[in-house]
Amino acid sequence: MKPHGWIILDKPLELGSTQAVGAVKRNLREAGLLGKGKSKTKVGHGGTLDPLATGVLPIAIGEATKLCGRMLDATKKYEFTIKFGSETDTLDVEGKVTENSDHRPTLTEVEGVLPQFTGEIEQIPPKYSALKIDGKRAYDLARAGEDVEMKVRGVTVLALSACSLKRNSGEEKLEEIALRAEVSKGTYIRSLARDVACALGTVGHVTMLRRTKAGPFALKHAISLDKLNEIGKGADIKDYLLPLEAGLDDIPAFDLTPDQARMLRQGQVLDAQDLPKEMVRNPAINGTFLATEDDSPVALAELVDGTVKVVRGFNL
């Protein structure tokens, strides 16, 4: 039977997101679960994580790949460290130093500027990023020595705070600071670190970046690369695979009758007279919801004014 669901990888340092997907495919192949041709199991990731970052990388398998777009839009949580005194062209430890400063802030000063970066803010993405400019990746243009002009974009920082530090005084000069952030899609932590340092009258770059949560998935759900490799050696994938619906725990679910489920599978629209009254009258279910049959996912559906339409159907 084909696997459908999520493997949450605790991505190690220096492994790219595409390489992580490749590692899952390799293990599925070795376990005889990947298939061939038109029956080949699809695998995709729910949000790029830089090679120099570690942490939560949701990898979708089978029908769960239809939810990768939703995962890309989900909020993310990070822990990261800013090293003060030098800025690099990549805004992390991989790049070349482009600017230096002798000024070092205090913890009190850091905590004083963080509110400026909470809420809806504007930031300029790093020129070494996967964003496309005239159809080409920004990092490819930057590596080729071209002058890359990144446009300002609006993002949302839901929370930003300093991690606990062992210190004698909040006035002690800091060489680096560890922060926690919860951010919207499209937020670049490297840009956030650069801007925080600038607000403190100095420069800085990211030396450590770890994603602790992506959408509903946290580190407690994640497995190591070694654990992932056990699948290829014969371990039961069910021990590591989260169900497809685990990626939809932020929306309500509603169980349909066999006839209603059949209609949705056929792409038909359900109107109010086809729906149970308790569903139509439920104020929590007015928008996107998970339609199930006997608790098995049927479709990601949308209920608007008593009419249900399929957003994405699942072939389970």
Task: Tell me the H-state helices in 268-315.
Answer: 277-280
Name the phi and psi angles at 249, rounded to 5. Answer: -75, 0
Q: What is the rounded CA–CA span in Å between residue 137 and residue 53?
A: 19
Give Dmax over CA atoms of the chain in angstroms: 71
CB-based contact 82:109 (threshold 8 Å)? no
- How large is the C-alpha radius of gyration of the chain? 23
Name the phi and psi angles at 66, rounded to 5. Answer: -70, -10
User: Annotated active-site positions, please?
Assistant: 50
The enclosing H or E element of 100 equals strand 97-100
Task: Region of 305 please: left (phi>0), alpha (psi -120 to 50) or beta.
Answer: left
Q: What is the rounded CA–CA span in Å between residue 207 and residue 130?
A: 19
Which residues lie below 8 Å from residue 53, measured CB to CB, with a gap of 6+? 11, 209, 210, 211
Give the CB-side neighbour count of residue 272, counting CA atoms within 13 A.
8
CB-based contact 51:14 (threshold 8 Å)? yes
Closest residue by Cα to residue 226 from 4, 15, 2, 76: 15
Which residues lie below 8 Å from residue 17, measured CB to CB, with a gap of 6+? 11, 45, 47, 48, 49, 57
